[in-house]
Each structure stands twice: as C-alpha cells, then as structure tokens.
Chain A
Amino acid sequence: MTSSARLTSIVLACVLLAAFETGFIASLPGAWRFLPVVFATSVYLVQLRGWRFGGWLLAGFGVLLDLLGIGALPWQTLAYGAAALAVYAVSLHVFSNRSLYGLLGAGLAGWTAWAAGQAAVWGALALTRQGAPDGRAFLAYLGWHLFFLMLLLAILFYAVPRRTRLPVHR
C-alpha cells in the first residue's frame, strides 16, 4: 500500500468513526450514549501504537462537534485539544507503550484535561446563565465517560493482538 493510500484509508476510517459516534452511539439509550469510542481509539493509537496522528483524531473530533453544533457544550475544540495534548505528552514522557497500566494512565491524563476543559465551559455558562446542562447530569456524564473510557481501553488492550499491523507509520 502506498503512503498516500494509507493516509487516505486512515482519514476515511477516522471520518467513519466520528460518524459512528455522533450517529449511532449518541442515539443509544441511557448511559450507553456516552461511550467515548473516538477518545478511546485515539488514546490507544497514541499510547500503545505510538501513532501521533491519533492526537489529531481527538482534536479533530472536537472541531467537528463545534462545526456541527452538536456538542452539549460549546468550545469542544478546547476540551478535546487539551486532551490530545495531555495524551501525547504523557505517552512521550511518562508511560511506556507496553503495559495496560500505561494505557489506562494515558487515558486518565487525557480524560482529566478533557474534563477540566468541559468543566471550565460549563462553569462559564452557568455563571453567565446561558443554559448550562443540569449540574448532576453533567457530573454523571463525566463519570460515565471515564468509566467507559477505561473499559474500552482495557478491551482494546486485550482484544486487539499486539502483533496486528496497522497501516500507519510512527
């Protein structure tokens, strides 16, 4: 496969994943609609596969939510961008790319940055009385997001064989 064909397939896969999360996952009942498929995939690619472009997938998802206007809060680019930076930084300087511990640690770091960004926007909306979501619902959303993120990362760690070759370059 040529490098441009690889890149094209990667970009198409990212677009498909984003459509899957905003279309299918977001329509599911109860807490299932909080499954962070794009987030988990990005963390997995950056931390375990050393693929830096995974960070762009995460930041790009935030941009997409803002462009389409379907984030529960505005300024999703900020939160997802911060998460991408945090995942990239810890994968580079803190954790090795071999352990589940490292994968979950990178996920937690990314989630913390993302949650801080979300909380900042939520706080600003609440202070200016611009229709911020209910506080309890917001906290529940953050909690479910973390739970499902850890779950998905663990599943990815064990389910995807480490020898699987991805069509990407480090």
Chain B
Amino acid sequence: MKRAPARWLLAALALAAALLVPWRRLFGALQRPFAAAGTWVDARAFGLFDPATASPARVAQLEAQLAAAAVDHASDQALKQENDDLRSRLNFVARAKARMVSADVVARTVGADADRFEIDRGSRDGLAVGMPAVVEDGVLAGKVVSVSDADAVVAAVTDPGVRTAVSLLNGARTIGVATGLDGTMMALTYIPKDVDVEANEIVVTSGLEDRVPSGLVIGVVNAVESAGTDPFKQAVIQPLADPRRVSSVSIIVGSAP
C-alpha cells in the first residue's frame, strides 16, 4: 500500500523535472565522456575491426604508438592534439573572418549508415539549421540539420540526405550540388561532358548556399564516371573529414562584424 503513493510522487517529480530542468543539457553532459571515450577507442582501433580500411603502415604506426605511450603520456598527447586543433581553427577564424562556436560531440547515430552526431550547443548559442560544422583548418564536416535549445544534430556531408553547393578548383571552376552517397562518399552529378574534371581535384564550398561561406574544403575528386550516351558525367568525391573520428567541431554562426 505504501509503494503506490511513492511511485506517483516519483512520477510527478520526474515530470516536473522534465519540464523545468534542462534535461537535454544534463543528458548531453552525461553522454560527453562516453562519446569521447568511444571516439578515442575508434581512433586507436583504426583497421583492427575494419580490414577494408586497414593499411599495414597504419597498423604499424598504431602498434608503435601503443608500445611507446604510457597512460599519462597518451593523456598529454591528447591535450596537445586538442590544443593544435583549436589553434588551427582559430587560424581559420582569423582568415575567413567567421564567427564560430566550438562544440563537443556528445552522441552519434544509432543505426545503419547515416552519419549524424549530436553536439552540445543549440539555438541558445546562436546555432540554426543549415550552418556548417568545420574541423581542423576549415574542412567542412557536415551541416546542422536540427536544433533545439541546448543541443543540435549535425549530418555529415556524406549523409544520404545532405546536399552541398560545391565548386571544383579546376580551370573551369565547375560548380554543382554534391549529395551524400552511402555515408562515406559524395557524388557531384550533372556535370556537362565537355567540362574537364579530373581525379585529385580539390572540392570546396561554392558559397551559393545560404549560411555556408565559400572556400571551405570538402574533399578531393576520387573518380569521374560517365555513361556512353549520357550528356552528363558524375564525379565521386572523397571527403577529407571523417565524422566518426571527430570529437569536437566548430559551427560557423556568421561573419565577424
């Protein structure tokens, strides 16, 4: 008999907490160390669980790292890496005169190949749908696809639902819209056959998209495909940013005054 009122009281308290407490921010704070640990494991386990992407050189490098690194040394290295990352992003801010908000990844997509991740910044910090998320010195990792008060979800440029206005750094400065293919690559379609596009050409944002400045590096052309009678050809783009190994990003929220 005593249990029922206690349960109702607890349920009422939980409901009140859900309405009054910024639970998304609290939950994000809870998720953050887990996501950082998972990303750390992913970065160190590269190739061990996914033979298709392993290279002997990379495995040897990891083994050397593992042998050399004591726990405290690894911790120092992580801090140094974070520092370098932040410095390079500041360089981008200075160069592009962009206003940025730094955010940590707190969770990732649960499910098949859609590469989306949740960050701990939201509309309260000035974020809005369509804003670009960059890593390192201005490499586009993805775009904000949904935003709440305290957090936002970023879809990687390779996500099948994401389209990005791009430009190729070739002689013709070919422009177009690249779409995510399968979570690992992008495709630039409807390129007229007479336009010269070659492998290894660099792909950047064209600036023709709302909220996305021009010149953010996306990746390189991996292959160019064309069918015999088709008047257009398609370029497959290999992105430079790997959203699964990103633990923090910068969101471009506008240009500096």
Contacts and interface: CB of A to CB of B under 8 A. Distances in A.
Nearest to A4: B6
B28 to A, nearest CB: 9
Contacts of B30: 15-16, 19, 23
B107 A71 contact: no
B39 interface: yes
Chain B's interface: helix, strand, loop or mixed, by majority? mixed
Contact of A29 (B7, B37, B50, B161): B50
Interface in A89-136: 118, 130-134
| Interface size band for B | 35 or more
Contact of A68 (B34, B39, B42, B151): B151
A13 interface: no
Kindly name the residue among A30, A118, A130, A141 whose own CB sees the greatest number of chain B CB atoms within 10 A. Answer: A30
B199 interface: no
A32 interface: yes
Given A28-B42, A29-B45, A70-B117, A22 B110 contact: yes
A148 B227 CA distance: 42
Chain A's interface: helix, strand, loop or mixed, by majority? helix
A133 B2 CA distance: 50
12 contacts: A4-B6, A4-B7, A19-B30, A23-B107, A26-B108, A27-B108, A31-B49, A68-B107, A70-B110, A71-B111, A134-B113, A134-B160
